[in-house]
Amino acid sequence: MSAAPPQTADGAPTSNFLRQIIAEDLRANRYGGRVVTRFPPEPNGYLHIGHAKSICLNFGLAAENGGVCHLRFDDTNPIKEDVEYEDSIKEAVRWLGYDWGAHLYHASDYFDRLYEFARHFIKAGLAYVDSSTPEEMRLLRGTLTDAGSPSPYRSRPVEENLDLFRRMKEGEFPDGAHVLRLKIDLASPNMNLRDPAIYRIRHTTHHRTGDRWCVYPLYDYTHCISDALERITHSICTLEFQDHRPLYDWIIEQLAQGGLLQRPLPHQHEFARLNLTYTVMSKRKLIELVAGGYVDGWDDPRMPTLVGLRRRGYTPEAIRLFAERIGVSKAHQWIDIGVLEDCLREDLNERAERRVAVLDPLKLVIDNYPEGQEEECFAPNHPQKPDAGRRTLILSRELWIERDDYQENPPKGYFRLSPGAEVRLRYGYIVKCTGTERDAQGNIGAVHCTYDPATRSGTPGAETRKVKGNIHWLSVNHARTAEVRLYDRLFSVPEPGRSAAALETSAGTATRPASADLEDDVPFDEPTERNYLDDLNPRGRQVVTAYVEPAVALAKREDRYQFERHGYFIADAKDHDANQPVFNRAVTLRDPWAKASPAKR
């Protein structure tokens, strides 16, 4: 990976507020020249394109500034977490092109210290064991306008708190019997400071620490301390944590004052999370799509997961380009999925070799082409890159063409085949349509034409005659069959579950509930108006048996091509093999042909 800051088209580095903050911190020598960031996923699901934005930011900013980025698994909730997820997260980060080097950490690495620090808070009179029920605690918490009231346990003596906390850890109490809370400010207008819970009892086996612990620290407490222990300088997170920053600062400041953490302390900076149209990003919904069989697993090519995007044909380069192009902002925003698709087009236009595939075949017979004759035509592998070489296509009397390259009654501006019309067979000859053949049901079974032997592509003097239409074809005797999966957007509306009006006004207004609520961590989720599942795109996946040129069958898994006039395709990572080629459509082309035929898109 290059450590140079990305450049705009005119060569100037693009800036964003995080780059500016880091530059200023370096200038002011706030962290002794160090830049240490971290990407802190919870190993409870597969990463998606939103996480990719965060990965590109954290790893990218560190690399640009000669710093390091840590990969830290935030594994504080043993109920939902699993090693399977950890492995997939590591693979996804590596696939994106980033490397954490020796800096792989787990929040659970710090369980001993977090426990000791909690005892420090108790001893300092800044934490207490609360034995209220969650319901009682909720009632005492107050509201945005009314201060909270002290729980009857708030004034427990230090010794009693230490004893109870030890017994919580030793497993004497059932789940939910007590929690440990910080003693901060029940009247604070910031609910996160109204004595947030920092430890709860969970008699659950943890995927790393096994049964060693039955008390687990909560996110807000764990995260800032983990950052400080790892000497993170810039702790970059999404906006819903903005209201948690005072708590973040309070906790580590207290510990630094107690001599338990080293200064300078990390600072939290928030940016707007990525919201992408025509898809969903909440973990709950992604799990539901998989569990409910609405998609074919986490790596279904329609999914916004990184495993899904990869299987769809996305390249790491395209995703990094996307992350850079959308920038970072402090304001909630929706990004059109078209921006992502364009990044892939740009990347693959440069490096994907061209091939011919006929997705919806119709036979074309060249009546004046001698029966049994064959000839070689030459097609460049890349139109702008002669060095990429060329491949051979065999032309013969019977060809496959696309069904929609023929129209009996062509609309105005249709330049492909129709009775009496001329087109060029790409890399071959100009042909003139002479008629059709119909089957017993009256359907067109074949189109007939004649060719002009004087118009062969690549022959000096032959190209002088111009025709507007230019269609692709494959020889019936030489084409191979392939399964082609035509993927499209997962949902058919920009914002699944919500109207366009809601999209305008409420992008990302949901906030993360304060952990003091003591329920399971409720994931970030947008409010919806109707069931988002009703907005699934019924045409999101169509499978056809297509004809492909022989060279395509030699593709290895994950090889990508442009199928001329159709789009970019990838040999499926799981199902493709030389005998049974399987290709996924990553994205269509944006060309006039695609526009003229919306049904193809």
If the CB atoms of residues 54 and 562 are measured against ligand ATP, the closer one turns out to be 54
For residue 306, state whether it binds ligand ATP (rule: CB under 6 A): no
Contacts of 243 (CB under 8 A, 6+ apart): 190, 191, 192, 511
CA distance 279 to 299: 14
- d(CA 283, CA 45) in angstroms, rounded, equals 7
* Closest-CA residue to 394 (of 489, 474, 306): 474
Q: Nearest distance from residue 565's CB to ligand ATP, in Å?
A: 35
The reply to whether 567 sits near ligand ATP by the rule CB under 6 A is: no
The CA distance from 544 to 502, in Å, is 37
| Residue in 107, 237, 326, 421 binding ligand ATP, rule: CB under 6 A | 237
Beta strands in 34-94 (DSSP E): 36-39, 68-73
Contact 61, 96 (CB under 8 A): no
Order of strands across the sheet that contains 353-355: 353-355, 560-563, 567-571, 582-588, 480-487, 541-548, 357-358
Euclidean distance between CA atoms 346 and 315, whole angstroms: 11
> Nearer Cβ to ligand ATP, position 264 or 523?
523
* CA 25 – CA 266 distance, rounded (Å): 12
Interaction between residue 151 and ligand ATP (CB under 6 A): no
**C-beta closer to ligand ATP: residue 235 or 470:** 235
Q: How far is the CB of 202 from ligand ATP (least distance, A)?
A: 16
Region near ligand ATP per CB under 6 A, out of 19-27, 48-56, 160-168, 371-379: 48-56
42 binds ligand ATP (CB under 6 A): yes
Applying CB under 6 A, which of residues 188, 204, 205, 238 lies at the interface with ligand ATP?
A: 238
Tell which one of 129, 218, 228, 274 touches ligand ATP (CB under 6 A): 274
Task: Find the shortest distance in angstroms from Cβ 341 to ligand ATP.
Answer: 18
Q: Does 41 bind ligand ATP (CB under 6 A)?
A: yes
What tokens does 28 get?
């002011």
Put residue 101 in one of left, alpha, beta given phi > 0 → left and psi -120 to 50 → alpha: left
Judged by CB under 6 A, the stretch of 46-54, 307-315, 419-427, 443-451 that binds ligand ATP is 46-54
Residue 583, helix vs strand vs coil = strand
Tell me which of 22, 25, 31, 44 binds ligand ATP, using CB under 6 A: 44
* Number of residues this chain uses to bind ligand ATP (CB under 6 A): 16
Cβ burial, residue 527 (10 Å; 0-12/13-18/19+): exposed
- The first and second tokens of residue 246, run together, are 């005072």
Q: Which of 34, 42, 391, 456 is catalytic?
A: 42
User: Which 8-state DSSP code applies to residue 177?
Assistant: S
| DSSP three-state, residue 228 | helix
Q: Which of residues 493-532 bind ligand ATP (CB under 6 A)?
A: 523-524
Segment near ligand ATP (CB under 6 A); pick from 47-55, 287-295, 432-440, 442-450: 47-55
**Options 34, 36, 54, 216; binder of ligand ATP; rule CB under 6 A:** 54
Residues 72-91 that bind ligand ATP (CB under 6 A): none
Cβ proximity of 109 and 217 under 8 Å: no
Q: Is 283 a catalytic residue?
A: yes
Shortest distance, position 54 Cβ to ligand ATP, whole Å: 4
Where does this chain touch ligand ATP (CB under 6 A) — which range of 44-52, 175-183, 244-252, 568-576? Answer: 44-52
Catalytic residue among 273, 397, 485, 585: 273
50 binds ligand ATP (CB under 6 A): yes
Which residues in the 275-294 window bind ligand ATP by CB under 6 A? 281, 283
Q: How many Å apart are CA 131 and CA 178, to the nearest integer?
A: 4
Q: End-to-end distance of the chain based on CA atoms, in angstroms?
A: 35
Active site residue 463: no
Instruction: Work out whether 53 is an interface residue with ligand ATP (CB under 6 A).
Output: yes
For residue 230, report the phi and psi dihedrals to the nearest 5 degrees.
Answer: -85, 5
Burial category of 523 from C-beta neighbours within 10 Å (exposed 0-12, middle 13-18, buried 19 and up): middle
Minimum CB separation from ligand ATP for residue 26, in Å? Answer: 23
Least Cβ distance, residue 393 to ligand ATP (angstroms)? 45
Q: Is 269 in the site for ligand ATP (CB under 6 A)?
A: no
- Shortest distance, position 323 Cβ to ligand ATP, whole Å: 9
Query: Residue numbers of the site for ligand ATP (CB under 6 A)?
Result: 40-42, 44, 50-51, 53-54, 237-238, 273-274, 281, 283, 523-524
Active site residues: 42, 273, 283
